[in-house]
Amino acid sequence: MSVNPKKNQVDRTAFSVAFTVGLYGAAFGAAGVTAGFSILQTCLLSILLFSGASQFAVVGIMGAGGAAISAIATATLLGFRNTLYGLQMAPILKVKGIKRVLAAQITIDESTAVATLQDNDEDRKRGFYLTGIGVYVFWNLFTFLGALGASAIGDPSVWGLDAAVPAAFLGLIWPRIKNKVQFLVSGIAIAWALLLTPVTPAGIPIITTVVLAIIFGAKK
């Protein structure tokens, strides 16, 4: 029986990305419980929302006492990029009906990245589905384990888990900062958010930093 080395390469890439990213779900599980969500609520966020940055925004804002509308607005802004990924992947996947809905659920940074690295549409589809489904399975599994572990240890602040949300955001953002402009925007956004934190409701400082993205994006 012949073995297709290209498919093996796609499979290995998809699995390594899926497992590595999925492990990070444990941090979200711990962050959710630390913010006052139950294990079930934390797991449902991963199952239904399934967008790392948006999920951390929800638990971070509501855990700090922010309003649900602020959490929803921030999560929506952070998740808007997935819509652009959908536009990019739609001509390749060519799915309709329930398959389109299911494909949309796993249209994330990682599945799109692995797909776009491939040379042809067949491998792009394979990379997309293997990565997306893999991340979904591992992310939800480790979300549950992280939430369960954080719930079992008692007061999360004693163990330093109250810092899980800002630490997780730093972990998500840092690898994506690759040039001086991005460093500058990030620095200004941090300063702006810190300036507004004492005088505005939770969630508002993060939402207003989108203005910076619009200003710098318009100048490019």
Above 70 in pLDDT, residue 215?
yes
CA quadruple 74, 60, 139, 209: dihedral sign: positive
45 CB-near residues (< 8 Å, 6+ apart): 28, 32, 37, 55, 58, 59, 143
Q: DSSP per residue over 50-62, as a string?
A: --HHHHHHHHHHH
Q: Which two tokens stand for residue 146?
A: 């992280």
**Residue 52: strand, helix, or coil:** helix
User: For residue 142, which of 15, 34, 17, 23 has the smallest C-alpha distance?
Assistant: 23
| DSSP assignment letter at 161 | G
Tens-place pLDDT, residues 21-55: 888 888 889 889 988 899 999 999 999 999 988 89
List the chain domain ranges: 5-165, 177-220
pLDDT for the residue 112: 93
Tens-place pLDDT, residues 104-156: 999 998 899 999 989 899 999 999 999 999 999 999 999 999 999 888 876 55
| Interatomic CA distance for residues 201 and 80, integer angstroms | 23
Between 21 and 87, the more confident residue is 87
Q: Judging by beta carbons within 10 Å of its beta carbon (0-12, 13-18, 19+), is residue 87 exposed, middle or buried?
A: exposed
CA atoms within 13 A on the CB side of 30: 23
pLDDT for the residue 212: 75
Report residue 176's pLDDT band, with 50, 70 and 90 as the boundaries.
low
The single residue listed with the structure tokens 């497992």 is 19
pLDDT for the residue 1: 46
Mean pLDDT of the chain: 84
Q: Residue 176: what residue type?
A: R
**Residue 199: strand, helix, or coil:** coil
Helix axes 121-152, 5-23, angle to 10 degrees: 20
